[in-house]
Structure 1
């Protein structure tokens, strides 16, 4: 068993033009003051991070890490959630997702995809330069508009979508192999990789690529009514990253999983600040420890009710209290009578 590192904080939901969230120096000091030991960096946010420099310069990365260390936190990993989303975009979402990309590729899906692939590859290289061996992203989605089979899906439609998804990601995964970095897909509604079955469909198409791994976030499974504890055991060898996020699902006579197009605060399923939802984190942390997960427990704050700064401060303490310092001895060692081969054989009656 291994002890999880943490608490860490994903900075994407906090970065803004307002101090102390508008610079790397200030936001890392704030995170440390909240009780965090590490921060996960949104690679697209130029207020905090220069992805181009990080991919090209180890010196830049050393300075970046050094400033964080001076302020009391480590860099846990980089995120390309927004860029990864653009690796595969169904035309229905072209307009909505253009805002994730550089303005130079707006309105040009092919150029946008090429830009996104380059961004993810740069972030993987930057991860290596930072001395970090895992990276989190989204898979993007070509099949998501067809998630519910009405009208009936034509034969081969989903297979063609996953074939293309794998074709787009395979060069990125090969680059990750060259850099010694795991690509961890956040399994998430809105992505083609949104549950275990779809993750396996993808793995089959990239020939079980060793760099194709998973970020585990139980909140997304609560909202899908998926067994989030069994998921840990099934995919323990592929789970390389961990988002600590809470959620609740309270179906009514009027709405369920799909939420009736309601805003987050009015949905049956909604994300909550840590401790305010339904995830059994005692069981989650126990399983992660028992399965030898030794990565970071990173808080991703999302809540439609609580103020983010309150959620962040409470989240640091929540994770710290749930991390299990694993034991190096058995609880009943005090009753051990000692053992050797001769005694064991005698107890089994084998030498009579």
Structure 2
């Protein structure tokens, strides 16, 4: 797998770009967005800088590309954070000036649809950070989750190893972001059972690659940002997560099967599978339906591994995606998965 370099880190007092490479939801749902801006200042000591399309729903791909260019080219901006995800960032990729971005490497934070930009940065040799969208994590109702805040702070300001921990509780449901009352109470949570390990007989250390599995499937279909030589991913740590769209277990299997048929899946000796989000406003599953969804997704992943990567070690229910709390995963950075010790360490 190609080597990526870690871009210089910001320090408190620096300016951080806040952009919307996908959806302009800050313009429609300002409460979590404004709260996120306040917390960047108060909790992290950073000065957020907005761009023309940050609060604009329906902005064109070119307008969003222009914001990305401006954020990376400005020497006073020391990090870049996405406001939220979306579903069409793939249309922005062809418009990006790769040499401009390569010449001005900066830490970029985002999840979900931001898998697009994270993968582009990886292909430019720049480590990105899968985690910490402004509205979802930094603008979390009531208070920052302590585990999220600790991971984000470490990824933003420090370099070196950071050991992930499994939470005692997690949240999987939400309330209306348009209602001020949502932000006056702690989000609901439920007990977490810890990570589930599959084939934990060895230690794997490698560069991370992956992201949101639905976005990854679109990139595969469009033949964008994916190396055509599967050997380019040899020895890496694959990490995957699913979104609030709640893709069916069979769909997850089909995507992994396609990766297997392409020769990709077996290249990764370790897989970190994010805790499956099992509730959404469109599908407000109860406890039994949520449990069934999670089990069926895990079985689908194991079925794909059995067929295409039987030696791959896997860890399920890592809080790296559409989860609360959420840990930041360096994209293209070093991840160590110690099966015998049941430990996961990332390098920020």
Q: When the two structures are superposed, what TM-score results if normalisation uses the length of structure 1?
A: 0.34
Whichever structure has more helix as a proportion of its residues is 1
Q: Taking structure 2 as the reference length, what is the TM-score of the superposition?
A: 0.35
Larger Rg: 1
Q: More strand per residue: 1 or 2? A: 2
